[in-house]
Amino acid sequence: MEWDVLLNPYKQSVEELKVKLKGVREQYIIENKHSPIEFVTGRVKPVASILDKMKRKNISLDDIEAEIQDIAGIRIMCQFVDDIGTVINMLKKRKDLEVIEERDYVNHKKPSGYRSFHVVISYPVQTVDGEKKILVEIQIRTLAMNFWATIEHSLNYKYAGAIPRNIQQRLQRAAEAAFRLDEEMSIIKGEIQEAQKLFEQKEQR
């Protein structure tokens, strides 16, 4: 099978969604508002990883487009935990995509310590053969969650999924520290917003 042909609409979708979501950030910034989006990245799953997942989950070639939801992957990084909900609501209101699944690993962390909010969307991409609906997994997470996940992902790769116990324990503690960092930052965010409200009231007097 021609992987390039199969993956092309996925590549197109990732590029389009990156432009659109970076545009959302831009709009907040020009309107002088706090952007719930700090930055956006995206990738098409490498063929080797697709083959791995097919094997691991016993998925046949005919079923990959329906069964592998993260062939196209978008990641949205936020400063604050609250921003995650704002981003999810924004996605749900958009007319150019449909949210079809949600996985809340923010309030229900994985045993590894992983935290992130996953949304699977159906995205209509225009091809030369007409419209094709593509599944895209969007991961929404804070900068602290992203820091932890990036490090843990490299360690998992290094140890081929069998991270030594002592390092696993360190990672658990690091995950707790990242959680506390997010909590501390949320408190500061609240303080800032309160100060701004008081300032506005003073201005109006």
Report if residue 36 touches ligand 0O2, rule: CB under 6 A.
no
Q: CA-to-CA distance for 139 and 117, rounded, in angstroms?
A: 6
Whether the Cβ atoms of residue 16 and residue 125 lie closer than 8 Å to each other: yes
Number of residues that bind ligand 0O2 (CB under 6 A): 17
Report if residue 147 touches ligand 0O2, rule: CB under 6 A.
no
Instruction: Confirm whether 38 is a catalytic residue.
Output: no
Q: Which is nearer to ligand 0O2, 26 or 131 (CB)?
A: 26
Report if residue 153 touches ligand 0O2, rule: CB under 6 A.
yes
Q: Which is nearer to ligand 0O2, 103 or 132 (CB)?
A: 103
Q: Across the chain, where does the E strand assignment appear?
A: 39-44, 72-78, 98-104, 117-127, 130-142
Whether the Cβ atoms of residue 67 and residue 57 lie closer than 8 Å to each other: yes
Q: Which one among 11, 20, 34, 103 touches ligand 0O2, defined by CB under 6 A?
A: 103
Nearest Cα residue to 148 out of 123, 122, 119, 177: 177
Tell me the closest approach of the beta carbon of residue 63 to ligand 0O2, in angstroms: 13
Sheet with 130-142, edge to edge strand ranges: 39-44, 72-78, 130-142, 117-127, 98-104
Q: Which one among 114, 133, 168, 174 touches ligand 0O2, defined by CB under 6 A?
A: 114
- Of 34-42, 58-66, 87-95, 167-175, the window that binds ligand 0O2 (rule: CB under 6 A) is 34-42
Q: What are the residue numbers of the active site?
A: 137
